[in-house]
């Protein structure tokens, strides 16, 4: 959470660094400062490989009884499923999806272009491409850039630019389309020239991409014949505009496994983020990420990977690890000028990192294995409903609710919501297609504020609200017609 003493600095910087991720665009010359108020930018990885990957196996499907997704074992191409995923994301404050995109998988690309982009509520969310570079050819933890791979990378990015970058819902930072590239930490060979050609080619198409590399991990690759390094590879990092970690889980580090209060996982992730934060140029943005837990035994039981359970301690609540992970490894490392984070994941069920809602069930530690615990390792799991989305919302949002017509109870879309302290504007939002809104707590430390709501044809609403430190303030607004 941003300290009060930094608030005015943050407000000033927000005028300089605008993140185009759904903020209100209206202006008012009577507002003292600022005309744009900065917010957290919350993203989550989104996958398109269902129903095929349900058959691969996942921990929730191995439990006794099963803990299924709230929508069941859905088809990623189902439009109603996509629209519900967008609705949940918008309601709980997820700003954008980083959508998994694989080279040479036209069936997945087709889902994005013909289904996601045609969803009736697509304007409620932003999206960017998560480029799965393993599709270029990953061998022995390395992607060796040859001329063929370089040409393939360039061809793919030209395709992405042509088909996605101009879409009104595509995520842009300072008008620059964002692409997150998986496993850049494995790149060796002629990748510098490949990325240089990529940038030049896209600029000729009218785009200056904001490239985020998956660079942060426990070891990264260096040019042959050098062995992997535990430290930042600066010659590669300098090619990107931002860096992140897709997932810091590493089964080879046993002290990081198990309950969070008994393991070194969070403290060691803090140390690694701190090392990268100190090493990189200030122009390169560090984008912290985290997981709600990890269990891939449902799909890779023979690998015998240990579990990071979703409870922080043996007596903890469902989701308590996620709460601590956000507090310890995300909030302290958010860039002050670009406070962006990525959550792994919305719906990667195979590795047990999803925050997508489930059907609610009782707690169980048993599974469909001969020992009853081969998949769970004895850790408790619960059908959690929308709990993880609520945790995310409470962490990053100060005020959330819905705007409706007073007479008919009809949700009102594109209502301009603003938070003031006196006449100082501190936060803005627009209500979505179902009337839901979220006001970021970035510039709203605990205290009293005024919320103002305006939309054509309705009387302005002004109401006081108290912001608490650990839980968002719910506020339902009913507007009267003029």
The tokens of 342 are what?
Answer: 């990525």
Of 131, 133, 151, the residue nearest 142 (C-alpha): 133
Query: Are residues 325 and 292 in contact, defined by beta-carbon separation less than 8 angstroms?
Result: yes
Query: Are residues 463 and 451 in contact, defined by beta-carbon separation less than 8 angstroms?
Result: yes
Phi, then psi, of 339 in degrees rounded to 5: -75, 80
Query: Are residues 220 and 229 in contact, defined by beta-carbon separation less than 8 angstroms?
Result: yes
* 40, pLDDT greater than 60: yes
353-374: per-residue pLDDT in tens? 999 999 999 999 999 999 999 9
CATH 1.10.4190.10 fits 32-396, yes or no: no
| Residue 12 CB coordination number (10 Å) | 12
How confident is the model at residue 408, as a pLDDT?
81
How confident is the model at residue 296, as a pLDDT?
99
Rounded to whole angstroms, how far apart are CA atoms 444 and 441? Answer: 5
Length of the chain: 482
Alpha helices in 78-190 (DSSP H): 79-92, 106-114, 147-163
DSSP string, 162-174: HHTTTSTTB-EET
Domain boundaries, the chain: 32-396, 398-479
177-223: per-residue pLDDT in tens? 999 999 999 999 999 999 999 999 999 999 999 999 999 999 999 99
Rounded to whole angstroms, how far apart are CA atoms 19 and 4? Answer: 22
CA 351 remoteness from chain centre: 16
| Share of residues in the chain with pLDDT > 70 (%) | 92
Distances (CA, A) of 274 to 60, 229, 288, 335, 460: 34, 17, 10, 12, 45
Rounded to whole angstroms, how far apart are CA atoms 400 and 417? Answer: 11
Q: What is the mean pLDDT of the chain?
A: 93
Query: Are residues 203 and 177 in contact, defined by beta-carbon separation less than 8 angstroms?
Result: no
**438 contact partners, CB below 8 Å, separation of at least 6:** 92, 93, 393, 397, 399, 400, 429, 472
- Sort residue 328 into left (φ over 0), alpha (ψ -120 to 50) or beta: alpha
Residue that has been written with the tokens 């985020």 in this structure: 212
72-96: per-residue pLDDT in tens? 999 999 999 999 999 999 999 999 9
How confident is the model at residue 38, as a pLDDT?
79
387-413: per-residue pLDDT in tens? 999 999 999 999 999 999 999 889 999
Rounded to whole angstroms, how far apart are CA atoms 112 and 6? Answer: 40
Rounded to whole angstroms, how far apart are CA atoms 339 and 454? Answer: 27
Q: What residues form DSSP beta bridges with 178?
A: 210
DSSP string, 285-304: EEE-EE-S-B--HHHHGGGT
How confident is the model at residue 215, as a pLDDT?
99
Rounded to whole angstroms, how far apart are CA atoms 439 and 422? Answer: 17
- CB burial of 180-207 (b: ≥16 within 10 Å; e: otherwise) equals bbbbbbbbbbebeebbebbbeebeeeeb
| Share of residues in the chain with pLDDT > 90 (%) | 91
Angle at 53 between CA 49 and CA 55, to 5 degrees: 150
Burial-class residue 96 by CB neighbours within 10 Å (0-12, 13-18, 19+).
Answer: buried
How confident is the model at residue 16, as a pLDDT?
38
Rounded to whole angstroms, how far apart are CA atoms 126 and 89? Answer: 10
Strands 424-430 and 416-421: antiparallel
* 32, pLDDT greater than 60: no
Pairwise pLDDT comparison (224 vs 395), residue with the higher score: 395
Rounded to whole angstroms, how far apart are CA atoms 57 and 68? Answer: 12
Q: Whole-model pTM?
A: 0.92
Confidence of residue 9 (pLDDT cuts 50, 70, 90): very low
Confidence of residue 152 (pLDDT cuts 50, 70, 90): very high
How confident is the model at residue 409, as a pLDDT?
87
DSSP string, 10-58: HHHHHHHS-EESS------TT--B-SS----EEEEEE---TTHHHHH--
How confident is the model at residue 418, as a pLDDT?
97
| Residue 208 CB coordination number (10 Å) | 13
* 13, pLDDT greater than 90: no
The secondary structure element, H or E, covering residue 393 is: helix 387-396
Domain 398-479 CATH superfamily? Carboxypeptidase-like, regulatory domain (2.60.40.1120)
332-351: per-residue pLDDT in tens? 999 999 999 999 999 999 99
The tokens of 245 are what?
Answer: 């970690």
How confident is the model at residue 2, as a pLDDT?
33
The distance in angstroms from the start CA to the end CA of the chain is: 39
């Amino acid at each position: 959470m941003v300290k009060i003493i930094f608030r005015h600095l943050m407000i000033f910087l927000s005028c300089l660094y605008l993140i185009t991720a759904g903020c209100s665009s209206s202006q008012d010359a009577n507002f003292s400062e600022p005309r744009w108020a900065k917010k957290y930018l919350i993203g989550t990885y989104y996958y398109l490989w269902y129903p095929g990957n349900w058959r691969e196996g996942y921990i929730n499907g191995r439990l006794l009884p099963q803990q299924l997704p709230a929508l069941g074992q859905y088809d990623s191409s189902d439009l109603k499923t996509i629209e519900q995923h967008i609705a949940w994301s918008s309601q709980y404050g997820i700003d954008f999806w980083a959508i998994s995109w694989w080279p040479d998988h036209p069936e997945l690309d087709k889902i994005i272009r013909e289904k996601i982009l045609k969803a009736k509520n697509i304007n409620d969310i932003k999206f960017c491409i998560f480029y799965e570079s393993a599709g270029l050819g990953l061998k022995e933890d390395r992607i060796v850039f040859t001329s063929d791979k370089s040409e393939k990378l360039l061809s793919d990015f030209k395709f992405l630019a042509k088909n996605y970058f101009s879409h009104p819902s595509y995520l842009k930072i300072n008008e620059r389309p964002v692409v997150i590239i998986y496993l850049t930490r494995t790149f060796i060979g002629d990748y510098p020239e490949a990325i240089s050609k990529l940038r030049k080619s896209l600029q000729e198409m009218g785009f200056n991409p904001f490239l985020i590399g998956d660079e942060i991990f426990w070891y990264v690759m260096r040019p042959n014949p050098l062995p992997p390094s535990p430290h930042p590879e600066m010659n590669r990092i300098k090619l990107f505009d931002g860096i992140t970690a897709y997932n810091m889980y590493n089964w080879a580090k046993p002290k990081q496994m198990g309950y969070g209060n008994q393991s070194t996982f969070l403290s060691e992730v803090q140390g690694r983020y701190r090392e990268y934060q100190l090493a990189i140029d200030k122009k390169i943005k560090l984008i912290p990420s985290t997981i709600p837990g990890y269990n891939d035994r449902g799909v890779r039981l023979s690998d015998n990977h240990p579990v990071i359970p979703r409870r922080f301690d043996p007596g903890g609540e469902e989701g308590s690890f996620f709460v601590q992970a956000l507090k310890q490894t995300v909030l302290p490392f958010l860039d002050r000028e670009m406070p962006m984070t990525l959550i792994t994941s919305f719906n990667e069920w195979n590795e047990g990192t999803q925050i997508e809602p489930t059907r609610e069930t009782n707690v169980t530690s048993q599974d469909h294995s001969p020992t009853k615990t081969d998949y769970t390792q004895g850790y408790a799991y619960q059908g959690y409903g929308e709990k993880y989305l609520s945790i995310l919302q409470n962490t990053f949002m100060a005020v959330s609710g819905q705007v409706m017509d007073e007479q008919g109870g009809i949700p009102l879309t594109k209502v301009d919501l603003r938070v003031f302290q006196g006449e100082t504007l501190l936060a803005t939002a627009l209500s979505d297609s179902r009337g839901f809104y979220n006001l970021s707590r970035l510039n709203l430390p605990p205290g009293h504020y005024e919320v103002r709501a305006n939309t054509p044809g309705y009387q302005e609403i002004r109401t006081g609200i108290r912001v608490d430190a650990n839980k968002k303030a719910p506020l339902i607004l009913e507007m009267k017609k003029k």
